[in-house]
């Protein structure tokens, strides 16, 4: 999945969970300042993103994530990290 697809899905989650207009969800949009997300909103948003992308994001990785673009980077990294465990389990590509 390329970055644009990840950003589009994150925008979908932001619209649904945060109740914001889609045009506000840009790569540089700050969750708190631009999208008016409080800490509870962000928890719900992260849960929605984890479900949508079928990834698990450790809480310590969430610190410093302030923008939609940073969230996309985090999802992309989370999608790439399970690959070694699949190879270790004997699954061949």
The neighbouring-strand residues paired with 30 are 67
Catalytic residue, chosen from 12, 33, 34, 38, is 38
Separation between Cα atoms, residue 81 and residue 74, nearest integer Å: 11
Yes or no: say if 10 and 55 are a contact pair by the CB < 8 Å rule.
no
Q: Does 2 participate in catalysis according to the annotation? A: no
DSSP per residue, 2-46: -HHHHHHHHHHHHHHHH---GGG--TT-BTTTTT---HHHHHHHH
Q: Which residues are catalytic?
A: 38
């Amino acid at each position: 999945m390329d970055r644009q697809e990840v950003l589009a899905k994150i925008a979908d989650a932001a619209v649904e969970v945060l109740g914001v207009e889609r045009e506000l969800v840009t790569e540089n949009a700050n969750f708190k300042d631009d999208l008016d997300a409080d800490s509870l909103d962000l928890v719900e948003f992260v849960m929605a993103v984890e479900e949508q992308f079928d990834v698990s994001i450790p809480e310590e990785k969430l610190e410093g994530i302030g923008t939609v673009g940073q969230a996309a980077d985090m999802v992309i990294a989370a999608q790439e990290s399970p690959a070694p465990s699949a190879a270790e389990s004997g699954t061949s590509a």
